[in-house]
Structure 1
Amino acid sequence: MFDGPEPASGGPAREVRTTCPYCGVGCGVVATVTADGGVSVRGDAEHPANRGRLCSKGSALADTLVPGEAGGRLLHPEIGGRRVSWDTALAEVATRFSDTIAKHGPDSVAFYVSGQLLTEDYYVANKLMKGFIGAANIDTNSRLCMASSVAGHKRGLGADAVPGTYADFETAKLVVLVGSNLAWCHPVLNQRLLAAKAEHGTRIVVVDPRRTASVDGADTHLALQAGTDSVLFNGLLVHLHAQGHMDAAFVADHAAGLDEALAAARADAPDIATVARRCKLSEAEVAAFYAEVATTERVVTVYSQGVNQSSQGTDTVNAILNTHFLTGRIGRPGMGPFSVTGQPNAMGGREVGGLANQLAAHMGFTSDEVDRVRRFWNAPRVADKPGLKAVDLFRAIEAGTVKAVWIMATNPAVSMPDAGRVRRALARCETVVVSDCIHDTDTGRLAHIRLPAAGWSEKDGTVTNSDRTVSRQRAFRAFEGEARPDWWILTQVARRMGFGDAFGYESPADVFREHAALSAFENGGTRAFDIGALAGIGHAEFETLAPFPWPWRAGGQPEARLFTEKRFFTGDGRARFVPVTTTPMPRALADGALLLNSGRLRDQWHTMTRTGLAPRLSAHAPEPCLDLHPADAAARGLSEGGLARIVTVAGEALARVHVTDAQGLGTAFLPMHWTDRFTEACVIGRLVDDEAVDPHSGQPDLKRMPATIHPYRPDWTAFLLTRRPVEPAHGGYWARRAVAGGHLIEMAGTGSVPCEADADWLPGFEPDGAAIEFSDTARGGWRKAWLSDGRLEACLFVTADGRLPGRSWLAGLLAADGLEDGARGALLAGRAPGARADEGRIVCSCFSVGVNRLIAAIRDGGLTSVAEIGAALKAGTNCGSCVPELKEVLRHAHQREVA
């Protein structure tokens, strides 16, 4: 049995260098583990990605290391919900998959994996499926975020390879952010960019339909019509060529296909007037942007999910690449296209063939490449054709052609488009295996077999970030329960399926060596990915391996920048211009419908299985909010803080309303993070259908879903503070978030006010202790609290008039060991005895600074700038992602003073 790291036991505190498990920035983290097992984290000042900085999520990593069942961990293998031994569980997985393959062939089984896996986990999964099962039905949730960039890079560059490095953010003269809210989704990179702006005058242009937090630091915001990015860049290509801003030597000697690409661009965006009309921008805005790009040599174009998550994402990537090829702005410092990854190891997964349409080590399915992988692995059954991409994979499960699926470190019952279809598919699938560190996920509830996987702090291996930097993720805590690394679980199943000779790994270093060796096997510079210099790395060297960029070829040095010699990974070594034509929006927008967009919030990550454990990360956006332009809200009878019903062809949702002129007219924005564990009424995957996918990448369109939006007017509202999580079942709205000591659930519904006897609306809610209660007949409601040994266990407030007390003081009581004098009597009133400051909604999550404390400090201290706020309260001095909101609070505080 693989034992993993030793638990802490006495002695001085130790420090372990590891890597953050969140976004693709790949920040280095120093974890300090005390003798009693306590953990604190700080940014690694020696890591090239972050140089010591961490965002709000990274800063709170220690808060998410909640042990055992309290942290929601899956601690033991289970079959049919019953605990079993590892031997029993592994044998059952191997038998089920082997029997299915014997009866229905290798294409009847599939893996669905994740950018949360380490590269070593990914490698073993890919080798087992494609090399020894003999099918390519392994796809990854990177299909939902990075597939369009992969396809665009391969068409234009000949390889899935980001050309530049983060240092280009600091040496560029102009940085264009396209569909990238860098300030919230990659805050550490945004801080590096803003520092360059302050020091060197770097100009920033944001191209985004929404006025995001990234606009705060920008010089220009182009609020174009959603889905018209390719029009803007096609027009830029036409303009640059017409005005003579072409690197003729580069195009002649190092690129191909310009005439065809220009012809397509001229048909799509012939002039500035056409671009302005189609993008819904002014001609002056377009002309100024084009002139700035034309006259600035060092331009970096950063793009992310606003480009990728579209049914024409690949073409938009190539429209961006085309402009860099025309001007020769690639392969040199401070210039080039730059795809910012969403997940910590999306790139590492692609290095080992995690996508269904690729083999390991950046190889495809040509006969030569299949033969090469077959010989290296000594695997006679290597898959010789692409497998099913994510959307088609779950459709095949629904149709019954895929009869067994193994899902690792991801939650497709929430994150996939048409999540209802995914749930139906898994519910009827003959065998569903889920490997996860979390016990109760939406997907896990549909599993026949659950396997406890190691989580961050226990896992050991490597990850690759957005600028191709490979970093070690090191374990510094013992495994929870019987959890084990994913590579180990896969290896054990492979051995039980009869493939033991090829899966003799005993450590992640064993896997890494083989991965490195394959990357160099018969490469000779023909493939971008090559870390052959590390094919012979020893265990001790692996333990101390410092971050490095690939390629790192045998006998050479790591290469931070690609294409410096102007040779690309195509057959003739030339970059490829790709003709791009903007396609119509995939779904018709009916009268009165709005265009629904989805995306990330500042302090949450994916489906909140980790960040949802940290109270300070839930305090900034405690409920799912639908952002609406004031005119759109008014036209629908919606107001700030009310509830809205969102209806699409795929499903319905309920969300709190946030009215803001940062949202474009005719559009709406809804965050992607909430699940059935946190609010059954607002799972974004249930609102987006899976009909529109990019024809080249298979990536679903997650940014442009027509939706009708109506008021939801509840007859009653309530909130519950409790030490144990509860999932209400009243059929209306509810949203749960972590608070210190427990959970806060906001509720609203229609019909009669629930009474205490209606136990079914709060299933499983059985608080300890004696109850005190108060019937609020004037407001048509009631209040009740449960106390045990002088400690608050839970309190429930229900009203028919919509008026409820503030939550901060009551939540503080839940975290306390006992009630203070006077607190018991004030409990059901919901108001603290005497004067007590209420923090209010958290603005700065890094230092837990709320809006009420900010306003008081601004007024009492006469603060006039964000810098003064930082000096007084520390707010905004860490990751900086709250700075735009601090400016808003400052502005409103002074406006109220003037009024």
Structure 2
Amino acid sequence: MDGSGLPETRSTCPYCGVGCGVLLRPDGQGGMDVRGDPDHPANHARLCSKGSALAETIGLEHRLLAPRVDGRDCDWDSALQHVADRFSDTIARHGPDSVGFYVSGQLLTEDYYVANKLMKGFIGSANIDTNSRLCMASSVAGHKRAFGTDTVPGTYEDLDAADLVVLVGSNLAWCHPVLYQRLLAARKARGTRIVVIDPRRTATCDSADMHLALAPGSDVALFNRLLTTLYEGGALDAGYLRQTNGFDRAIETAFSDDARVTGLSPDRIEAFCELWMRTEKVVTIYSQGVNQSSSGSDKVNAILNCHLATGRIGKPGMGPLSVTGQPNAMGGREVGGLANMLACHLDLENPDHRAAVRSFWDAPQMPDAPGLKAVDMFRAVGDGRIKALWIIHTNPAVSMPEADAVRDAIAGCDFTVVSDITAATDTARLADVLLPATAWAEKEGTVTNSDRTISRQRSVLPAPGAARPDWAILAELGRRMGFDRAFDYASPAEIFREYATLSGIAGQFGRDFDISGLARMTDAAYAGLVPVRWPVTAMRAGGRFFADGGFFHADGKARFVPVSYRAPASKTGPRYPFRLNTGRLRDQWHTMTRTALSPRLAAHMPEPFIELHPEDAAAQGIAPADLVQVQSPHGRAILRARITDSVQPGQVFAPMHWTGETAPSARIDGLVAAETDPVSGQPESKASVVALSRFKAAWYGFAVSRDAMAPTADYWALARTGQGYRAEMAGHTPPTDWEQEARRLFAAPGASAMSILDAARGTARIALHEEGALIGALFVAPRPVAVMRDYLVTLPGAAAEGVLQGRPAADVPNPGPVLCSCLGVGVNTIVEAVETQGLISVDAIGEALGAGTNCGSCRPEIAALLQNLHNPEAAQ
């Protein structure tokens, strides 16, 4: 069947919290086309590189297609009855707190709602937490302390109206590229100033008017200094302050802080404070650099204090804006997916709220105290307090801090269930039961983005094999555990109506989250729901909060929170002298279960790395392309060195995406200490301590293959290519027979071989062919292998007689490493165009080649390349 005539379906991108609308057109053969939705208010047709590559990630190659119990495929009836029996028996023997759910911002709101209802209302425990705890829990805590509820005051439209946007701990250009392009468009249209506050110089700094490279964890001291400047400069809004409590204590505490701990010069601090003070329309965007801290909640409140003191909140172009990392982190907050919350922003520890929810659900029991937050939950799994665990759409054996201990805890748990779309994750391999769930393009439901916009996610592909929606799996478990009537759902629309009705009760308690105006939607209206920003009631739809006060504490006033600088929990010292910052890459997502399937996303940065300053590299004897052993009190990793002054001396940065499936020695969260914020429970992922040393490999290897490889070296990193796979390898002890090793690596014992072996120099080049086509090629040397990788990855499956040269013939085009992932434009292509066409600007390159014209997140790299070409001395 030709799918070209099939209609487009409006849905939502499954990546970050921007919540971009997408238009999906199936091709009738299991694939589809994806483009940005021009009518969606979050993105107006723009997509980032990841969103643009969504169609490359929907294949069935790695899908889990049937339930598995103890490693064997079985039917749903057997699997779910087994799960229900084990959970019921565990609860009967050890009580409801002996079980736990660890869920994910990848769930749709309806899935999240059913999971929360089952655990808190019917199992009777609050032991349900989410990987959003690692993302935005500090923002939730800060909002609740200041506003009385977890309310995001502003909207994305504020970026269009602001005169100053301050980005705190946010690499917006890479982590939220569509919002970044919106900000750049506003700057072009109206001269918006941009300040970046980040210890590391990121791609976002390329367009900043000011970059404040403050010491890790010192944000509170900086914003306390801003608050005192606002006070001394007469910039406070006396009328607005009457809508608040606690300012006197907050300002007294702010004056007692010392901004010198930021490491910034007094002149830089004064320039920032003066700019913020004298610009009325200011938006402060903050993200993981603020939240992922042992003082994350205090950082949030230090920012909120400044906006409250000046009344710059809830008005066009003014206010704080927390941008989340996952597509439905906000939806999870709304349904009570965190261990310390009830649905609809009701409070678990408030007896009136608890009674209302229990009555609405007709629930047999309800916990009266918070459950275990993520870090404590896995500690409880490790020490045996939690004996039955269900993990849904997340990979904590990689993504949690002290990941090695978490992996061991899951492995030792009496009974572990994992629901996911694949069995090929570090966590899924530890499960007793695997349950196949539908993937994003097969799901029906809603998500909520970072500015409170609820959007539909719609199914355009059939569920493969026996895969089921998460809400259906959870509801069936509830029925099998004896709660038939409460979980007798027939559709996500029915769940949404129940949830919207409950929000009306929350509204009666004076809560912010109320979508009761949607509670009577028909199935047809739900199917056609267009993006809508909450609240949605008979009296109000969308808009901003707090322009005129109206907060959600009992007295209706906001609260200033007095906060003081606290250093990161882990202390550097002679044994661990470096501060480790972790984060995301432009083209990858979480633990790469989706993005690693896309060759063009993998091409930009196909190998794990660590950024370190040139002075530190020299002191440790580390050269460019060396491998670096990174050691912390909790784990060890091996990463490729990237020597750059983007990080400050004494600080290093490593991305968090690689796993046991893609690079076992690069599981960076195995090094991160499980230190948490005492208010939010969010781990400190930006400030652990490590030691560095050169990994003294006896051999290095690079390989390309047509089919999947099976590396076994001390270090290896595997990535997908357009023609197969590529791998970097290194080890202490080389194999005795490199040709035999190549046959094992490529699973081709009978293939014909061409080889160039030099035992004296420690080099080997082997290519294996079948029927004239290249199966795989292996290149080995005593130092990092010098071959043209981006040429070699194009050869598997072709004749490739000259593969052992490691480089193309002079007349063969070589685009070089991919720089623009959206359009697949390589570095060499750009260099050639600059040299032959006389291109002198990023815009000119975009016009000629398209590079940088889609999501724009590669524009800083294009600019740096241009600068190096026109001024090579400056790049030395």
Q: Secondary structure at the match of 2:442?
A: coil
> How far apart are 1:593 and its partner, in Å?
1.2
Q: Deviations over 1:74-122 (max 9, x none)?
A: 1110001100001111111101100100111100000000000000110
Pairwise CA distance, 1:784: 2.5
Equivalent AA in structure 1 for residue 193 of structure 2: R
Q: Which residue of 1 aligns with 2:356?
A: 372
Matched-pair contact (CA < 8 Å) for 1:771–1:784: no
CA contact (8 A) 2:475 2:489 kept: yes
Letter in 2 for 1:24: G
- For 2:372 and 2:492, the matched residues in 1 are separated by 28
Match 2:663 to one of 679, 682, 691: 679
**Of 586, 600, 606, which aligns to 1:622?**
606
Offset of 1:832 from its aligned partner?
3.1
Q: Which amino acid aligns with 1:54?
A: L
CA contact (8 A) 1:768 1:788 kept: no
CA–CA distance in structure 2, aligned partners of residues 430 and 55 of structure 1: 42
SS at match of 1:371: helix
- Letter of the structure 2 residue corresponding to residue 217 of structure 1: S
Which AA in structure 1 matches 2:151?
A: A
Contact preservation (8 Å) 1:753, 1:799: no
Q: Which of 15, 21, 28 pairs up with 1:28?
A: 21
Instruction: Indicate if the aligned counterparts of 1:184 and 1:602 stay in contact, CA closer than 8 A.
Output: yes
Following superposition of structure 1 onto structure 2, how do residues 371-770 of structure 1 map, counting pairs within 5 Å? 371-521=355-505, 523-524=507-508, 526-553=510-537, 555-591=538-574, 593-690=577-674, 692-730=675-713, 732-756=714-738, 765-767=746-748, 770=751
Q: 1:279-290 counterparts in 2 under 5 A?
A: 279-290=262-273
CA contact (8 A) 2:344 2:506 kept: no
2:709–2:747 CA contact under 8 A, matched in 1: no
Change (3 A) 1:779 1:836: farther
State the partner residue of 1:885.
861
Query: Which residue is 2:146 aligned to?
Result: 156
State the alpha-carbon separation in 1 of the partners of residues 723 and 749 from structure 2: 15
Q: 2:819: which partner in 1?
A: 843
Give the distance between the partners of 1:704 and 1:661, measured in 2 at CA. Answer: 18
1:722 Cα offset (Å): 2.2
Which of 92, 98, 103 lines up with 1:108 in the alignment?
98
Alpha-carbon distance change, 757 to 771 in structure 1, aligned in 2, over 3 angstroms: closer
Deviation per CA, 1:240-293: give whole Å up to 9, x if none.
1122111011102x0000111111111114xxxxx1x21111111111111111
Aligned residue-pair number: 872
Gap runs ≥5 in structure 2:
none
Q: CA offset at residue 838 of structure 1?
A: 1.7
Residues 202-281 of structure 1 correspond to what in structure 2 (within 5 A)? 202-252=192-242, 254-269=243-258, 275=259, 277-281=260-264
Q: Distance in 2 between matches of 1:44 and 1:884?
A: 26
Q: C-alpha displacement at 1:767, in angstroms? A: 2.9
Deviations 1:709-766 (A, max 9, x none): 1111211111222233334223x2111111012110110111335524776x997751
Partners of 1:630 and 1:762 in 2: how far apart? 40
Quote the Cα distance in structure 2 between the aligned partners of 1:493 and 1:802. 52
Q: Is the 8 A contact 2:345 2:506 kept in 1?
A: no
Aligned residue identity for 2:475: T
Q: Does the C-alpha gap of structure 1 residues 520 and 801 become closer, same or farther in structure 2, counting only changes over 3 Å?
A: closer
- CA drift of 1:897 comes to 9.9
Q: Secondary structure at the match of 2:305?
A: helix
Say if 2:772 is the partner of 1:783.
no
Instruction: For residue 552 of structure 1, give the secondary structure of its aligned residue in structure 2.
Output: coil
Answering whether residue 322 of structure 2 is matched by residue 339 of structure 1, we say yes
Bigger mean CA deviation after superposition, 20-29 or 805-814:
805-814
Q: CA deviation at 1:812?
A: 1.1
1:630 Cα deviation from its structure 2 partner: 1.3
Residues 324-376 of structure 1: per-residue CA shift (max 9 Å, x gap): 11101112111011100111000101111100001111111211111001100
How far off is 1:34 after superposition? 2.3
Secondary structure of the 2:34 match is strand
Q: Go from structure 1 to structure 2 and tell me whether the alpha carbon gap of 1:307 and 1:897 turns closer, same or farther (over 3 Å shift).
A: closer
Q: CA deviation at 1:201?
A: 0.6
In 1, the alpha carbon distance for the partners of 2:34 and 2:55 equals 6
- Quick check: 1:75–1:481 contact (8 Å CA) kept in 2? yes
Aligned partner of 2:132 in structure 1 is: 142
Q: Please give the alpha-carbon distance, in whole angstroms, between the structure 1 residues aligned to 2:598 and 2:360.
A: 45
TM-score scaled by structure 2? 0.97
Task: Out of 491-500 and 45-54, give the one that drifted further.
Answer: 491-500
Question: Pick from 150, 153, 165: which aligns with 2:155?
Answer: 165
| Offset, 1:795 | 2.0
Deviation of 1:896 after TM superposition, in Å, equals 4.3
Query: Could you say if the C-alpha distance between residues 744 and 522 of structure 1 is closer, same or farther in structure 2, counting changes exceeding 3 Å?
Result: closer
1:124/1:491 contact within 8 Å kept: yes
* Residue identity matched to 2:727: I
* Distance in 2 (alpha carbons) for counterparts of 1:838 and 1:764: 27
Distance 1:631 1:206 in 2: 24
Residues 768 and 787, structure 1, Cα contact 8 Å, conserved in 2:
no
Distance in 2 (CA, whole Å) between partners of 1:894 and 1:522 is: 61
1:774 and 2:755 are equivalent in the alignment: yes
- Asked if the contact 1:442/1:677 (under 8 Å) is kept, the reply is yes
> CA separation in 1, counterparts of 2:127 and 2:615?
47
Deviates most, 847-856 or 516-525: 516-525
Give percent identity, aligned residues only.
Answer: 53
Identify the residue that residue 858 of structure 1 maps to in structure 2: 834
Gap runs ≥5 in structure 1: 1-7, 270-274
SS of residue matched to 1:697: coil
CA distance 1:885–1:11, change in 2 (3 Å):
closer
- Closer/same/farther in 2, CA of residues 105 and 743 from structure 1, 3 Å limit: same
Contact 1:677 1:727 in 2 (8 A): no
Partners in 2 of 1:305 and 1:356 — Cα distance?
A: 20
Secondary structure of the 1:402 match is: coil
Aligned residue for 1:361, secondary structure, equals helix
Task: Describe the SS at the equivalent of 2:8.
Answer: strand
